[in-house]
Amino acid sequence: CATSRRPEATAVLEAFLPLLRASERGRIVNVSTSMGSLAEQANPDSPYYGMIVPAYQSSKAALNSITIMLAKALADTSIKVTSVCPGFVQTDLTPVNREQAPLTATQAAEVVVAAATLPDDAPSGTFIDSNGTVPW
């Protein structure tokens, strides 16, 4: 059944966009994952190549696409848009035992904070993790 209902993330963005446009240093940080990288999914040498989690991977790939679209749509503004991969984090959402994840939530938040505090001359529409650029 088709619906005209907007995805919640888009509705929230549309609600906050006027405030972001009014700010001097607006930032949009989308929390993604390297598992959502199409390049990583297609690369046999990637540690994510053998992972098959269709709903999770495809939803994060879609989020990465939204990052690119927003960066283009907001190119004439000071707003920066970034996708970030916080890494394998010790949360109750981890698909394995939480203790197997190497990062605490505090450690994982560092890349989110880095994206939220990008300097004005930083590029928009990027995908990063704690090691730098992640391929789309």
Per DSSP, 37 falls in state -
Number of residues assigned to the chain: 136
Closest CA to 81 of 65, 62, 57, 59: 65
Tens digits of residue pLDDT in 100-133: 788 999 999 999 999 999 999 999 999 999 999 9
pLDDT at 5 over 70: no
Tens digits of residue pLDDT in 15-31: 999 999 999 899 999 99
Q: Is 56 a catalytic residue?
A: yes
Q: What is the pLDDT of residue 93?
A: 75
Q: Which listed residue (26, 56, 90, 114) is catalytic?
A: 56
Q: Are residues 33 and 53 in contact, defined by beta-carbon separation less than 8 angstroms?
A: no
Please, what is the average pLDDT of the chain?
Answer: 89
Can you tell me whether residue 55 is helix, strand or coil? helix
Predicted TM-score (pTM) of the model is 0.86
Identify residue 20 by its one-letter amino acid code. Answer: L
Q: Are residues 83 and 129 in contact, defined by beta-carbon separation less than 8 angstroms?
A: no
Q: What is the pLDDT of residue 47?
A: 87
**With the CA atoms of 83, 85, 91 and 92 taken in that order, what torsion angle do they form, in degrees rounded to the nearest 10?**
70
